[in-house]
Amino acid sequence: MQWNHKDLLDIDQLNREEIGYVFQVADRFVEVNKRPVKKVPVLKGKSVVLFFAEPSTRTKTSFDIAGKRLSADTFSLTKTGSSLQKGETLKDTALTLQAMSPDAIVLRHWSSGAASFLAQRLECSIINAGDGRHAHPSQALLDGFTLRQVWGDDFGGKTVLILGDIAHSRVARSDIRLLTMLGAKVRLCAPRTLLPSGVRTWPVTVGHDLAKACRGVDAIICLRLQLERQKAGLLPDLREYAKTYGLNDSHLEKAAPDVRIMHPGPINRGIEISSALADAPGSLVLDQVTSGVAVRMALLYLYLTRTISV
């Protein structure tokens, strides 16, 4: 069966069935990642450029590991290591890379729409690894895959709370699209200054009282508090934020008994979430990292071979 997508720019490009295919292919790579020799030859001869104009640990490393475990050749490029630092435009940098005939470019960029900009101009596949506040589709897919390993395929009747800096979060936007598509209900909880305009039109329930927002939820996704926004005067002092919106044990008393805790990282311990909860048995934070490798292996496989294997 053909995979009828050249690029992955946002979750909206995929339907529920296609998301299911991604998860099923990722299931196979979970097994590969448990082997003593974690390598298969399915992308031998393919080349993947990891073009990260913003810092990244988890996303960049997991795409790199994913490519290498599929036997692809991966090449890393950062803003400081590229001619962007010299004033070259994104278009010219991308066209230069295209002239070297890569099979895919995994792009992280500070500008919303940067991945779409390249996808319209380049022949190779573009996989969006986060563009401004717009989207982070592979993170949403790995979050969904992580919850699927706990809940199975039926997300109906489940409620997920997304907590924190919603306004600046591409993760929140992509997670909302994916979770609602899979049938889950989504709640948001944040200070008013950290909610985007128009949020009331989103398919979510919005609140500002964390204790109320936690009632009966099956999973809580804490978002990184982007400390650089503190300078813009959008937040009270960090101590006040941690007191009002930092997740701790008292909040979990109101959640479902088997509530799961997630965070895309990096974590500001003691601010967004208590250190004890981040490391608690119900935490899926490290499971998300593990899932990220398998899901990104699935994405590279699908977009570089344009086939579905389940």
Cβ neighbourhood burial of 232 (10 Å; 0-12, 13-18, 19+): exposed
Kindly state the average pLDDT of the residues 177-182. 98
- Paired residues of 163 in beta bridges: 189, 222
| Interval 15-43: pLDDT, tens | 999 999 999 999 999 999 999 999 999 99
Residue 79, annotated as binding a ligand? no
Domains of the chain, first to last: 11-135+289-305 (3.40.50.1370), 137-284 (3.40.50.1370)
pLDDT tens digits for 262-285?
A: 999 999 999 999 999 999 999 999
Tell me whether residue 139 is annotated as binding. yes
Q: pLDDT band for 185, please (50, 70, 90 cuts).
A: very high
Higher pLDDT: 95 or 41? It is 41
CA distance 46 to 302: 13
266 marked as part of a ligand binding site: yes
Q: What angle do CA 261, 223, 106 make, to 5 degrees?
A: 105
200 labelled ligand-binding:
no
Helices (H), the chain: 16-32, 58-69, 90-98, 114-119, 137-151, 170-181, 210-213, 238-245, 249-252, 275-278, 285-305
Q: Is 108 annotated to bind ligand?
A: yes
Do the annotations mark residue 187 as ligand-binding?
A: no
Indicate the pLDDT class of residue 231, thresholds 50, 70 and 90.
low
CA distances from 45 to 101, 180, 183 (A): 12, 38, 39
What is the structure's pLDDT at 63? 98
Categorise residue 247: left if φ over 0, alpha if ψ from -120 to 50, beta otherwise. Answer: beta
Pairwise CA distance, residues 63 & 54, whole Å: 15
- Check residues 110 and 231 and name the one with the higher pLDDT: 110
Confirm or deny that 144 is annotated as ligand binding.
no
Annotated binding-site residue? 229: no
What DSSP state is assigned to residue 209?
-
pLDDT digits (tens, 9 = 90+) for 187-200: 999 999 899 999 99
- Does 133 belong to an annotated binding site? no
Is 58 flagged in the annotation as binding? yes
Least trusted range by pLDDT, from 77-81, 131-135, 182-186, 289-293: 77-81
- Residue 83 confidence (pLDDT) above 80: no
